[in-house]
Structure formats: structure tokens, C-alpha cells
Amino acid sequence: VRKSLVADRVVELAKSHSHAVATRVHLMVALLEDRDVEPSRWRAHLEVAERSLLPRGTSIDPPVLADDVLELLDECTDASGALVVAERLIAELSDPSNLPDEEEENPAPVIWSEGADPYAFKVDADDVFCLSSSHRPVIHQIDVLNESVDPSRGDILLKVSVEAATSEPLLHSYERECPALQIEETKTFRDIRMVPNFVELASLDEQLQGNLLVEVIVGGEVVGRHRKPITFLAYNQWLHHPQNFDSLSAFVHPNHPSLAPVIQRARELLGERTEDPSTEGYQRLDRERWSAMAESVYDALCELDLAYSNPPASFEGFGQKVRTPDRVLEERAATCLDSAVLMASCLEAVGLDSVLVIVQGHAFVGLLMGGNVARAMGAMDPQGGVVPNPNDILDLFSKNHFIPIETTTITVGLRESFADAIASARSHFTREA
């Protein structure tokens, strides 16, 4: 709890300071939340945080950041002392003599591709593409430089396509025309939307290496070409990255036909226990009724006798493959992510809102206690779908806005009652932060 308070305070302090300070603060918070990591690994975690949190084009020396963060952590003997250190560190970083020059605050200069082509390129694009996040553009910006093509040859055509070992392109090609560029003139292209080929992407059982091929065409002739490597993840692979946290919900399928027997069994159990088998969601304003519905779903899943499948050691990097509910029921096995997604799907199927809770190396589900809670949670994230601040999550938990439910306990060998599953999940909120 102390570290969460410190992190919250540091973020507040950063709001009135420069962008460079804010990026440092984000990294401090990232390490504050990882306080249980062995000290020898703090710097490695810092580098991971830098890659995931720094805005594009920002360049900061990781060792300097590590020193700042370690100084803060080492002197955080109590809440008040930590705040003093944090305020002092922010003040030091805000001193103009300690900040980069204004030019360094801006994105780094364009580094043009090298080659013999008369057009050069700078491509700002993601290195990884996953189906569950296909609503986000893979290319953010393309800069082209005319080094030697006579502008009298006519307008230019920018074409972007994908090279990969598939029968059909994984992303449909993109084209845009613009007037001819003078020699040494540059042109920046934004709002580049490559439409996913969902049929082909859904057939990827394993990740696949490919290239984004960027071409400039003048008068039907290719006058510039640039390739940028990209990894296409398997259709069921979830990418563990702050920008992709909301994509985990893409694996929740409440309307899948394979869930029908589970929901029917849940209704039978509910009827036996309450003499009313209806799964009416929040229509009845009764928290005990909502809990009874969730317990019936939980017990119906327990009757499936699923095997627990050990997940990879960590979600970091490319995350892990997630079994959709139909695959779980078909294979009769589930990891923590699989079981959480399955439970969430079933809760949604009976009209109850749910959340997926991610903690270090683990995942479980939460039952929202009321239909208005989801809207309140959405207000905590400007883009909606994710509540990233641990203090906001603790606040929701302390106000009983959601009930955490451990879901690996529906599997054989880890079986627990519904009440014990709740107690197990609650332990994640009562340990030292």
C-alpha cells in the first residue's frame, strides 16, 4: 500500500513538469510496482519498462533512469520519507540544467534507409501484429525523401504491402497518391490503415515472420523500396503489453454455442438452490442473487473436470496463447488465462458483467456488482476498457464494486469451493502492495 501511495503521488508531481520528467516518473512507478523483484534484476525490469512506456521518438539513457529509480526505492523507508525523496528527485529532474535541450525533447531526427534507390524511407511501424489487436493501425508514419527522381516524371504512388509465406496477404495492401516531390523534398504519410485479412490471420496456428514492403512508384516504375521486419502472432496469441491489455477481452465469447450445456447446467443448479432457475442478469437488484448465479456458473464449470495446464513462466514478451472457451471445452485443459476467459464468458452469458484481473504471473476474473460499475470503470481510462492504476483497482475492491474469483480452482487437483475461490483471489488485494 505504501508503494502504491508513493507511485500515485509521484504521478501527480509529474503532471506539472516536463515530458522528460514524466517519462522518468512512469519508469519509477513501473519499478515501484515490481518491488518484489530481486535487486539484481531491477535494471532489466527498467529496460522493459522503458521500451513499453516511453513515447515514440523519446531517447533516455537507461542507466541514468535506473540510478534515479534505485535512489527512490532505497530511501523509501516509510511513506513520508518516500514522498520527500520523490519530491526532491522531481525537483532535480525539473532543473533546466538537468533536462535535455528543447531539441532533444522532440522526436529524434529521421534516419533514412540506406540503399541505391533514388527514394529513401523512414518507417515507424509496430514490430508485432496480433489478431486480437487488429483494430489498431500497424503503421504509424512513413517519411519518404526524393533523393534524385526528376519531379517532371509525374505524381508518386505510395504502396505498402506484406511479404509472408501465406497463400493470401495477411494485411490488404494500401495505396496513396500525392503530387511529385522536388529533389531533396520529403513527404510524411500518416493515417495509414492496412485492412486485416481476418480469414488468413485466423489460420495462423504459429507466429510467422514477414516484412512490411514500402514502395514508391512513379510512372509505373518502382523508384524506391524498403522492407521492415514484422512478426505476425498466432491467431490465439495474446500480447502482454500495456497497449494490448484490452485485447484480452477479445477471447471472451459469451455467445459461443459450446457454452450452452454449461449455462444449462448452471441454471439447473441455480434452480435447485433458489427454486428459481432464471439467469436474468442485473434485472433483480439483489447482490445475493448475482452471487448465487455466479456460484452456479462456477460449480457447473467444476463439473467439467478440466485439467490444469501449466502456463509459461511469464506473460512478458509475446505473452502466451489463450484457449478460447470452445477450445478449453474441447481439450479439457486450461491455464489461469484460459480459465479466467472461460469464467468471464459464462458470466457474460448469464447477463453478469465481468472483468479480467492481471497480476504478476497470474490472472483471474472479477464479478461486477451492479450494471453501473462498468461505466464507472470506463471513466478511469480515457480510452476505455482498462483500469491501469492499482490505486483505482484497490478503491473498486474496497468498495465491493467487484468480487474477485480465482478460476484455476475449477480444475481437477486445484478444486476449491466458490467461497474459497473468492478468498484465494482476495489475497491478491490484501498482501503488502
Lowest mean pLDDT among 193-202, 240-249, 395-404: 240-249
Q: 243 or 149, which is more confident?
A: 149
Phi-psi region of 361 (alpha: psi -120 to 50; beta: other; left: phi over 0): left
The arithmetic mean of pLDDT across residues 338-347, rounded, is 96
Tens of pLDDT, residue by residue over 345-384, are 999 999 999 999 998 888 999 999 987 776 667 666 655 5
Tens of pLDDT, residue by residue over 121-161, are 999 999 999 888 887 899 999 999 999 999 999 999 999 99
Distance between alpha carbon 181 and the CA centroid of its chain, in Å? 39
Q: Give phi and psi for 86, each to the nearest 5.
A: -60, -45
- How many Å from the N-terminal Cα to the C-terminal Cα in the chain? 5
Lowest mean pLDDT among 145-159, 230-244, 292-306: 230-244
How many Å apart are CA 81 and CA 86, to the nearest integer?
9
The neighbour count for residue 428, using CB atoms within 10 Å, is 16
Q: What is the pLDDT of residue 158?
A: 97
Q: What is the pLDDT of residue 310?
A: 77
Q: What is the pLDDT of residue 390?
A: 84
- Nearest Cα to Cα of residue 160 among 145, 148, 142: 142
- CATH ID of 119-232, from 3.40.140.10, 2.60.120.560, 1.10.10.10, 2.60.40.10: 2.60.40.10
Q: What is the pLDDT of residue 113?
A: 62
Q: Give phi and psi for 158, each to the nearest 5.
A: -90, 130
Tens of pLDDT, residue by residue over 309-336, are 876 544 545 668 898 899 999 999 999 9
Residue 217: is its pLDDT beyond 50? yes
Q: What is the pLDDT of residue 48?
A: 52
How many Å apart are CA 67 and CA 89, to the nearest integer?
11
Q: List 368's β-bridge partners, or say none.
A: 402
User: What torsion, rounded to 10 degrees, do the Cα atoms 263, 269, 270, 275 define?
Assistant: 140
For the entire predicted model, the pTM comes to 0.67
Q: What is the pLDDT of residue 393?
A: 87
Tell me the domain boundaries of the chain: 2-105, 119-232, 237-430
- Nearest Cα to Cα of residue 121 among 159, 153, 154: 159
